[in-house]
Structure 1
Amino acid sequence: MGVFIVNPIRVTPAVADVLAVFLRDPAAARYGLDLIRASGHSSGTVYPILVRLRAGGWAEAGWADAGERPARRRYRLTRDGIRTAAKEMA
């Protein structure tokens, strides 16, 4: 029986910028491209942040409607993610 330890997410300036975009409307789902444009960071910065946020339980992702081409993933903060992000940003 092993112990599962979740590494805390370090809120760097780039992570803070992405979280600030999410916190403008916490219930809204965001596309990666929207986060890139709104945060001012490149895809090479934003997508790894999204991976870390999902791994840490701060964000979740789902695919956009099946009829949409190309398929795009939408990201949203979880309830815990909203609470934690707001606390970290304060």
Structure 2
Amino acid sequence: MTIPVAKVLSAFLADPEAPRYGLDLMTLTGLPSGTLYPVLHRLQAAGWLAAEWEEVDPSAAGRPARRYHRLTPEGLRAARQALAELRALAPQRSPRGGTEPTGAPAW
């Protein structure tokens, strides 16, 4: 799992019921559009995301229609599992402020 994918999944898991659109996700993740949209496309192709265009009149709203993305039930389970596995591999913070491998003695 790449860092951009982990950031996107974390943004969705922060509020799994909330629909997210591109600018919203760019703000939450700090990712540029050229990184974000390929990640969204791959997650949708894998069945982890569902997407739909909002029904809005762009001239009345004063903006283009947004494409909202949500985690699918399969995506929700897979995202939680993938991020939990990633956390288990990450080094733990030591009391001194550095990082040490999980299970390493803190001397």
TM over 0.5: yes
Q: Highest CA radius of gyration, 1 or 2?
A: 2
TM-score (norm 2): 0.72
Distance, in Å, in 1 between the alignment partners of 2:55 and 2:17 is 18
C-alpha displacement at 1:30, in angstroms? 0.3
Aligned residues, how many?
80
Determine what percentage of the aligned residue pairs are the same residue.
52
TM-score (norm 1): 0.84
- Residue of structure 1 aligned with 2:3, choices 9, 13, 19: 13
CA RMSD of aligned residues (A): 0.9
2:32 is equivalent to residue 38 of structure 1: no
In structure 2, list runs of 5 or more residues that go unmatched: 85-107
* Structure 1 runs (4+) greater than 4 angstroms displaced: none
Aligned to 1:71: 65
Q: Deviations over 1:27-60 (max 9, x none)?
A: 1100111001100010000000000000000001
Secondary structure class of the residue paired with 2:36: helix
2:39 is equivalent to residue 49 of structure 1: yes
In structure 1, list runs of 5 or more residues that go unmatched: 1-10
